[in-house]
Structure 1
Amino acid sequence: ATVTADALVNISSPTANAGTSKLLTADASPVKRTFLRINVTGMGTHPVHSAKLHLQVASATGSNSNSGGQMHAVSDCSWGEKTITWNNQPAMGPVLSTAGKCALKQPVEFDVTSAIHGDGVYCFAIDSTSTDNVNYNSREATTGKPSVALEVEPDCGCGPAQVPTTTTTTTPAPGATTTTTLVTAGPVGTVLADTYVQSDLSTTNFGTKPQIFVDNGTATNPGTTGVQHTFLRVSVSGVGASLVTGAHLKLQVANVTNSGSVTGGTIHAITNCSWDEHTMTWNTAPAIDGPVLATLGACAAGQIVDFDVTPAIPGDGVYCFAIDTTSTDSAIYNSREGSGVPPALEVHVAP
């Protein structure tokens, strides 16, 4: 498990982003909150035994506190580390655990077991009821960065196993060496956000819709009225130093009227990943500034289509894409919120 993003927000600076700060803060006055995103891989079908989020109190004077804060689950993981502010922060969920008094440089552990059910991306927030602020080291700090410790129940029923795991050797008695090899997690691709925008509804957000649309507008006036573009954000982890040999974004054509098309559209890499699926509109959509990666032919309702995005994914990270079309015969796909097969990213690496 890896902490992939962290940032603090401050009510006193409601439009400021602190994603590059070396500190994460929780305070009741002025109110400051910390947000973290983690990526969990390698669990497979094993039940979670425990999940602990570890932070270290910073060494700077005043970083210690009479309260380490309280950890919340956050259901909306679409925020960007470099764009989140007080004004656009996601809502916090239930309290998972609370930390007591903490000293400078002290490691602090938050139990988040109840929020982690398997492989995937999870988000959390830390706030505080104390006006004695606590400062933790962020991912940008040189030491004491946030980390996650996971344990799962192995198939043997012989007690929890840590995740991720590699080959370990132990010596229980002189002359006796036992080596246990567990499978190392492979690459994982996750679709974090998806939405579409529409030219003649230029201030409308469609982030909660069950389908995403691609269309070049009305047949009588193509490229103007009713143009629809789809945007997707994906996360890739577990690649490490391996060579990516294939990355395929798979969408299912929705089982609704007129969802099929003479073309499934054209997918582009885009450089701006700061958009929010719950707020983006035609007017605020990022530019489709990247190269064409793939163009699809005809597609039918229920069909799984495959966009090859390999050139745009060199390794671990977060990537964004846009799908447009030159056809006025719209293609309609299931979104993450739909009841059909949701968008998925498959990543393959060289052995």
Structure 2
Amino acid sequence: GYVLNVNAPGQTAGAQAYEFDSWSDGGAAAHQITTGANATTYTAAFATATGGGGPSADARVLEASPGSNYGASTALVVEGGSDPDVWSYLRFETGDLDGSVTRATVRLYCYSGTNDGPAIYQSLNTTWSESGLTWTNRPARRPGAIDDRGAIPTGAWVEFDVTPRVVAEGTYTFVLVSFSTDAASFRSKEFGGGFAPRLVIETSGADTQAPTAPGGLSGVVPANQSLRVDLRWTAATDNIGVTGYEIFRDGNLLQTVGAVTSFSDAAVDAGETYEYRVRALDAANNRSANSNAATVVVPSEPPSGTTVNPDRDARVQEANPTTNYGASPVLKAEGGSDPDVESYLRFTVANPGGAVQNARLRLFVTDGSADAPALFTTSTAWTESGITWSTRPARSASPVADAGAIAAGSWVEYDVTSVVRGGGTYGFVLASGSADGANFSSRQGSNPPQLLLTVGSSLAAAAEPDPAPETAGTPVASPVASEPATETPDTEAPAPDAAPTEPAEPAPTDPAQPADLAPTGPAVPTVWQPFADGFETGDLTAWDESAGLGVGADATRGSLVAVASRTGAEGGTDATGAFARTDLAPAQTDLYTRLVVNRYDGGTQAVAILSLLTESGATAFTLAFGPDGELLLVDARGNVVTSWVKLDEPSWHELQLHLQTGAGLVELWVDGLLVHQAGANLGGLPLGGLILGDAAFQPGRAYTLAFDDIAVDI
């Protein structure tokens, strides 16, 4: 017999396209058959193509000829490796689709095979010209290949699955890229004869079923923002899938949003009453019935607030890594493939005299963008006249807030409530992943940045018990312990530097309800675990056990704080450290803990700051100061998971530790900056307690630590 290669490429009859469905022998569209002694008929079946079609444009681009255009060529070539690269671009228009997309593939006829086929990427640019495309002006591709292919034989059709990107009707650009020197060549649309590339789309068929109506619509005016209405509703359902919601205010369409269940209306007026309804959409534009109505009254009086301008701001430019722009009236953020530009801001907030209920960073836009930069946190240890791209401090791993399109001549706002909780110094970075940069007025410009604080009633008016006799009189600079009476704390701890010091953060009025604990990061606490202690009671009665830990006044903090002090005499007989312990009931598998700490005197050995315990009392993780004052995160086996730089001392620092024992996640924030986020084997064991301070006593060890505002959140 003979071995034959057979192929069943897509066919076109008039305006109708047909795609390969099956061979009678069950083979693929292109496969080999072996003839027998008797005549055998092989039949290929075709199905009507339900969507897609040939490309509206295709062309290859050559790195070796960066200014040349190959849009009229009959070949699409892909080659990479160490040689000058060759990429190929294709643009498809889906036309009208019946139903939702269930599968989408790009089909290409290969007339010169390869041992290592290309990968296919998407580009968000759909406006490039076939007759003008070159290597120099080629659109950027999105990170991450959609599909990849290995060996491709000559004379065969190859398919790339692009279903993750083709989700609805529209125009799509794809890029073929190879990292192999073994080039592959495909027919372009100019070759014709049934060998042109095709986008084949399979759909679920016409969808005429509308989604169910959203339920439970409610609207509230947040206590921290009088000119905003927050809407929430229960998700609708659909036989295919809900794609979005239409939001109506007073009978008029206000906004169309994606498949979300909340929306904030910031275009409201004080003293007005509004009625809202919501209805669901699916991909076929079927609309549900309206939800219930939600009526909201916007208060007439706005809450009291404070405006703070930055004391430092400057942009840094990757293209000029050693140049300082601190005196410029322009802040800028730009990313993409060009050299990046980022902008740094620092705000110093005095004691606002009450609880910060809402904090927003406002910037005046002087040059708009279709994709505004994101806002990150960073260190405050930089100077306006000295910061450059080369010396800029690192930014947090995740943004605090982000924004979409912004227009020149307008203000853009970033919600930073999760970071700014009271008095202190705060650092932020504007950084963008888009080549469409945005410019803002700096503090040297005509419209300087603003930090707007909405402040509630003063916490200073909250009743506090009289301090213990030992703390009566004028507070001193270093903490002086008032408990326990059996131990004399070390009063020789060095006084903090006179300037600059962080202003005092107001203590919570209710020990069971701490101030906002939401950390900078992807997860936000929603339910308070009923434990917090700002030590304003003057004792440690909130704890289940304590030893060697006292409560005293601290002038730099402006409040009572807990003090752990050890003199470390050699041969000492004290069998305990300086600590307080509490049980958490019920035990938790997802736990945030926050505290503020000051290392007045750390000695020369490691000292524990905070330990989280399993339900059985075993240590799960410990935060500690190392021998040189560096911050350590230590696991249950005593291994140092991460080591952070030495913190300024004596100075107050906020630490946040998040453990998810089931998911095995550990996160650590230092002064609002996410410094560690990684998986860990925590065995799913619930956390049942915590220890503040160091429960171990080692003769010869001397230290003085002070703690304030510890709070636990689930």
TM over 0.5: same fold? no
- TM-score (structure 1 length as normaliser): 0.43
**Structure exhibiting the larger radius of gyration computed from Cα positions:** 2
